[in-house]
Amino acid sequence: QVQVQEHGGGSVQSGGSLILSCTSSGHTFSGNCMGWFRQAPGKEREGVTALDIDGITKYLDSVQGRFTISQDNANNVLYLHMNLLKPEDTGMYFCAAGLSHGRYCYPRFGKQIAFSQRDFSFWGQGTQVTVSS
C-alpha cells in the first residue's frame, strides 16, 4: 500500500521561507510523476508545481521564481522550497505522486507541460502553511 506524507509546514511572516518535504512508502519518486498542490480555505485545490520524468517543471504563475520543486533520489524525498512567501500562499499543501509507466507524465505543448490532479494517484494528507502579513 502506497503512503505519501508531507512534512515541514508551519507559520511564517511575509517574505519568509519554508521547505516542505514529502516521503513515501511503497512508491519511488524517481522516474515517476511528482507534484505539489495547495488549497486555501473556501477555494478549490490548485496545482502549484509538477516535475516530469525528464526534469521538465511547471509552476503556477503566482509562485514562479519563488518556489522550486526538487527531489533527492537517494533518499526518495520530494521537496518544495518556498521563498518570499506571501499571505496569499497560505493553505494546505499536498504532495502528489503518480506512475509514469515509462512515458511523460503530462501533456506537452512544445516544451511546456500542463498538469492536473488527474495525473496523480497517490496523495498525502497535507501540511498547513500560514503566512502572516
Burial class (CB in 10 A: 0-12, 13-18, 19+), 46: middle
- Nearest-angstrom CA–CA distance, 111 and 71: 21
Asked if 16 contacts 85 with a C-beta cutoff of 8 angstroms, the reply is yes
Helix segments in 1-133, DSSP class H? none
pLDDT at residue 42, rounded to an integer: 94
The pLDDT value given to residue 30? 92
| pLDDT per residue as tens, the chain (133 positions) | 999 999 999 999 999 999 999 999 999 999 999 999 999 999 999 999 999 999 999 999 999 999 999 999 999 999 999 999 999 999 999 999 999 999 999 999 988 999 999 999 999 999 999 999 9
CA 41 to each of CA 16, 60, 92: distance values in angstroms, whole numbers, following the listed order: 21, 18, 8
What pLDDT does 110 receive? 87
The pLDDT value recorded for residue 111 is 84
